[in-house]
Homo-oligomer: A and B are copies of this chain.
Amino acid sequence: MAGPNRRAVTSYDVAKAAGVSQSAVSRAFTEGAKISAATKDKVKKVAAELGYRPSFIAQSLINRRSNLIGIVVPGLMNPFYSAALDNLSHKLNLMGYRVLLFSMFRDDDTDPIMEEILRHRVEALILVSSSLSSHFDEECRLLGLPVVLLNRKNDSETVSSVTSNNLAGGAAIAEFLIKAGHRQLAFIAGRDSSSTSRDRETGFGQRISEMGAPAALRDAGMWTIEEAMNATRRLMSLPKTPDALFCANDMMAIGALNVVVGEMGLKAGSDISVVGFDDISMASWPLINLTTWVQPLTEMVDLTVSMIKSQLEDNEAEPVQHVLVGKLIIRGSSRSIGGDIGKDTTLPNL
């Protein structure tokens, strides 16, 4: 689609104008390459005059480096994903890499775009809250392409991943809500394809059962505010209304608050408790004030970046599944357990 006149200045143009070989131009721009000071100066002067810039693309053919790391995200409307991308991008820049962005638009199956990702010759791949099929897992291993899943894990242990302890988080939230005197809990799920939603639900359900409380009601919010609002409306019109809602992420919990507080006029923290998962920045806003499970995003990003770095340095590195420790933070959207536990306190070891 480029117009016929649009053409970047190439090393050929510089070589011709400076009266040297293309190889001399290349050496003039390569750190430590063998070239006389006079030739180097002449090349740099002509290059500056013509507006020549050594291209990453040309260099990457020589040294097989693209300086690009692919990041796959399932859309950016959830602040957890945009915060992860923001943070990853910042830390990868400090290492000299730039982010080639693959945004999937509310999907989490990467298969349809993996062929294209691999053709871009990224140096590594980070999948945020997205899965990798066994086919492409194997292909990436054959290519020696470093891959880390962030906030998602594969069933097989051949892919490196960083998650927080979703099972423990779900269990702690169940215990907290039951101890706060709630009688009928409900769970609002993300997508069934997501291991994170499944693990949070499993931990929640097991602890409810262990404590002898009635099984939780259930509906699905598909990770979005709008669907979570619909799920909340359905749950709140059941014959036996839930008095506590645990939503598999914060965005859905905000959707639930929109319905029970904004639409129904209930008082969150006394009439009903709403609990999320993630601790996105807005969870702590006084207007939202959401009790939630803190996923340690900064730590998760740091670990992801350091695992990518290890794999880039040693492509025989064994895959590792890291599970970080989260914690419950109690704010105004939920009843507290008793006098000894105030608002805005954390409760790490239930």
Contacts of A2 in B (CB 8 A): 64-65, 123, 312, 315
A286 interface neighbour in B56, B102, B262, Cβ under 8 Å? B262
A9 to B80, CA, bound (A): 37
Residues of B within 8 A of A288 (CB): 287
- A64 near B8 with CB under 8 A, answer yes
Asked if B89 contacts A98 (CB within 8 A), the reply is no
Task: Report how far A64 CA is from B90 CA in the complex, Å.
Answer: 29
Contact with B along A241-260 (1 / 0, CB 8 A): 00000000000001001110
The stretch of A35-43, A71-79, A207-215, A320-328 in contact with B is: A71-79
Q: CA A160 – CA B285 in complex, angstroms?
A: 37
Contact between A312 and B79, CB atoms less than 8 A apart: no
Give the docked Cα–Cα distance between A263 and B105 (Å).
Answer: 37
Q: Which B residues lie within 8 Å of A313 (CB)?
A: 1, 3
Within the complex, the shortest CB–CB distance from A185 to chain B, in Å, comes to 22
Tell me whether A89 and B77 are in contact (CB under 8 A).
no
Q: Check A57/B287 contact, CB under 8 A, given A5-B144, A86-B77.
A: no
12 contacts between A and B (CB under 8 A): A1-B312, A3-B312, A3-B313, A3-B315, A5-B144, A51-B139, A57-B121, A76-B86, A86-B105, A98-B102, A225-B281, A263-B286
Chain A interface (Cβ within 8 Å of chain B)? 1-3, 5-8, 51, 53-58, 60-61, 64-68, 75-77, 79, 82-83, 85-86, 89-90, 93, 98-103, 105, 115-116, 118-121, 123, 139, 142-145, 225, 254, 257-259, 261-263, 281-282, 285-289, 309, 312-316
